[in-house]
Structure 1
Amino acid sequence: MSRISHPTINRVRAWLSILLASGLLQACATTAGPASGKDLNMPPPVPDSLRPHSAITGPFGPKPAMPAPNELFALTDAQVDEFMAFMDGPQARQVPRHRRLYDFIEAFSQDFNYQDDTLGAGLAMTTGSGNCLSLAILTTALARVAGIEIGYQLVSDAPVYEMDGQVILKGVHVRSQLYDPAEMTPGALVIANRARIIIDYFPTGRERFVANLDERQFIAMYYRNIAAQALGDDDLGRAYWYAHESLRYAPDHEAAINTLAVAHRRIGDPMRAEELYLYGVENADNKLSLLKNYRVLLASQGRVAEARQVEARLSRMEDPSPFNWLQLARDASDEGQFDDAVRFYNRALELAPYMHEGYAGMAQAHYAAGEVEQARQAMDEAIRRTMRVSTREAYEGKLAALKAKSDLL
């Protein structure tokens, strides 16, 4: 399998890396097991404060049909037969079963067409397309068929992919862990450093472990992905209902609450949006994006003093994701808060100093604030950090304009 050596690419393909886990890797505290899907279709209800609107009279319309968790992992008989023929083939009999599953996914991913669509296992296998989560769902479905224990890790990354002139920021993704069935003893305690294979569907070498995920949290990612895509398409009803469904599996998750609040704000219900933001800030583990959007809501209502209080709280926060700070900086710049924008760009670049978009954004903020020399220096650094020719040429044109402006001062 060929390896992509640089994050600047024209066509993204899914690829995998294998790590034989030992004590050097993060210990896995929880795993999903050779899951049968028990009880996953009957999750606990959401808290009263997040109870959904009526599907009949509510502003988001009826709840759309959506797959239950077991349907996400459903495969056709033909797909199961194809997979088991590979697993039971004569060349594979001397290979541990979890390694054979890895080999199947590796071979399958050679021609996988990476797209920004989150698909169930059957459709991903049929079309050979989808995103990283689609591959993880397919891996889970195959692990169930083979009776192989599987776990999940959430990792953060800071690759920047440029495709046909569009910048795609990829912040966090999930990777799978396949456990050696030979180490499974009925009734035994969980072994922290069991031999396992980690499948990273989009490795860059800069991954940072965030957390182990249980199966409910993994399933919630599917519904949140669909909700986020719907919100981007301004399909507010679909975004609302899928976000609510995700909360049944991962209660109080900040991304789902954020989606609900944004959807309410867009339909003209800022009061309910504010209630959701405040609930999220109180109960979610990660509050940065909630505070950021709450500040936007306050500013749009002319509540300047309250917005500044939220801004001050944001500036004191710690967040390990450069992408959150990058978006925060862009929002501040759009609102004319250029000093804040520069500060947030600096926070992003402290975490991901190779991210040329951060320097380019900082240059724009400095220029808008009348700080031409600082803008020139930041743009010069953006040029040094980018590898794509068209991007570098665009930056060089802006730098030339900045130099000319600087010479006139």
Structure 2
Amino acid sequence: MKFYTLVIITIFSLITGCSSTNNQKQILQTIPLTQVINHALFSQQPTLSEQAIFELSEVETEQFLAYAKKQLLSGIRTDRVVYNYLENQLTNFTYHGDTLTSTQTVNRAQGNCISLAVLTQSYARILGLDTSFQEMTSEPVYAKESNLVYVANHFRTMVYAPKEIGTAKNINPISTITTRAGTLIDYFPTRDSIYSGSANHNDLLAKFYSNLAASALANKQLNMAYSLILQANNYTPKDPELFNLAGILHRHAGDLQSAKNIYQAALNNNYASINLISNYQLLAQKLGDTQLAQQLSLQLINIEKDPYELLVLAKNELQTGNIYSANKHVEQAIVKAPYIADLYLELAKIRFQQGKTQQTQSLLEKAIELERDKQKLNVYQAKLLSLSMTK
């Protein structure tokens, strides 16, 4: 069963190149998120500490150490021990959208990839191993709740071997690249994922808190969302998605001016994402600022997008009746990732609305050919059968 991480669209930072003098000036002009939040609207709630996120019970720790001891005596490399233990643990694991602590993940035998990355970090810590993370963009889970758009995004973990194992060197005429030995653990059971950037421990913690903040927002728990956004901001203060979450939070609280200030501060800082600009554009329209909405529309056009961001934009546009733009974005996505079944399904919807039945059928057949998820395959086949019966 597949699982997904709850986030507000994929992070996509825009950083402009400039001289050291300009960099210094930019740093001086940076507006922190905490400065543009209207703190008077919310009351801070208790949130999980970093220690509580990674903490394991004594029983679980002892069980893991006993397993590790046997593996190490068998000559298994330490980083592989973590992988092997997780593989055993995941036999009856349920992939679920909730973001959970290490203890919750073990006890419930469920969670999303952030939960599993947190759990992996806990085991790696016990053995004294270093880790790093990679952020991946994956198959979208499209839904709208109170103007929140959810898409899949996940982490995978590199658990490094002990330093005494040594390194592998790749030498070329320009530079010498040294790579540490290790095991890459990817918890996401699908081939349709795209690398979107490296990540570190702070990124993992920020993603944990921001996922919980997004859930709180969806459940209209504004004070908790506020508190979790502040926690995430302690780890990644330059993350555009935190500015975006804060903007949505203020919109829900009815403070549209503060929401505008937050979005504008992000753009002034050169922190941008597809979702931030899209939500800012929505706010500009709500405020009746046509000029700003048009400016933001141009920015959206000029940002390079991954296939999943293009798909989400297309779904938005199709719902609002903008078939031309939806068609353009889906076709751009197919050029980038012709192996993703969902793209052909979305294009089939567009062709159906255009009255192009034969093309609709061909696109559904292509989606069926590419789809590996049995549940979704049944949906595609049902759509194709329904289309055939209407001829």
TM band (smaller chain) = 0.7 to 0.9
SS at match of 1:318: coil
Pair 1:346 & 2:331 matched: yes
Query: Quick one: distance in 2 between partners of 1:126 and 1:212?
Result: 29
Give 1:394's aligned residue: 383
Give 2:355's aligned residue: 372
Residue in structure 1 matching 2:50, options 33, 46, 69: 69
Query: Quick one: distance in 2 between partners of 1:54 and 1:271?
Result: 10
The structure-2 alpha-carbon separation of the partners of 1:390 and 1:158, relative to structure 1 and needing over 3 Å to count, comes to closer
Residue in structure 1 matching 2:75, options 79, 89, 94: 94
Pair 1:134 & 2:136 matched: no
Pair 1:150 & 2:135 matched: no
The structure-2 alpha-carbon separation of the partners of 1:304 and 1:399, relative to structure 1 and needing over 3 Å to count, comes to farther
Q: Specify the code of the residue in structure 2 equivalent to 1:224.
A: S
Q: Specify the code of the residue in structure 2 equivalent to 1:377.
A: Q
Give 2:18's aligned residue: none
Let me know the Cα RMSD of the aligned residues: 3.0
Residue in structure 2 matching 1:264, options 250, 272, 282: 250
Q: Specify the code of the residue in structure 2 equivalent to 1:390.
A: V
The alignment's TM-score, normalised by the length of structure 1, stands at 0.75
The one-character-per-residue Cα deviations of 1:331-379 (angstroms, maximum 9, x if unpaired) are 22333333222222223323333444434434444565xx323x75245
Give 1:4's aligned residue: none
Kindly report which structure 2 residues correspond to 1:199-238, keeping only aligned pairs within 5 A, or say none: 199-238=185-224
Identity among equivalent positions (%) equals 24
Aligned length: 344
The one-character-per-residue Cα deviations of 1:218-240 (angstroms, maximum 9, x if unpaired) are 11110011112222223232222
Q: Specify the code of the residue in structure 2 equivalent to 1:392.
A: Q
C-alpha contact 1:133 1:174 (8 A) present in aligned 2: yes
Pair 1:79 & 2:68 matched: no
Give 1:319's aligned residue: 305
Give the C-alpha shift of residue 119 in structure 1: 0.8
Residue in structure 2 matching 1:172, options 141, 146, 153: 153
The structure-2 alpha-carbon separation of the partners of 1:392 and 1:172, relative to structure 1 and needing over 3 Å to count, comes to same
Pair 1:123 & 2:104 matched: yes
Contiguous gaps of at least 5 residues in structure 2: 5-29, 143-148, 167-175, 372-376
Query: Quick one: distance in 1 between partners of 2:367 and 2:107?
Result: 39
Pair 1:331 & 2:321 matched: no
Query: Quick one: distance in 2 between partners of 1:238 and 1:199?
Result: 32
C-alpha contact 2:121 2:131 (8 A) present in aligned 1: yes
SS at match of 1:110: helix
Which protein has greater RCO, CA pairs closer than 8 Å, 6+ apart?
2
Pair 1:381 & 2:371 matched: no
SS at match of 2:178: coil
C-alpha contact 2:3 2:113 (8 A) present in aligned 1: no
Give the C-alpha shift of residue 247 in structure 1: 1.3
**More helix per residue: 1 or 2?**
2
C-alpha contact 2:206 2:233 (8 A) present in aligned 1: yes
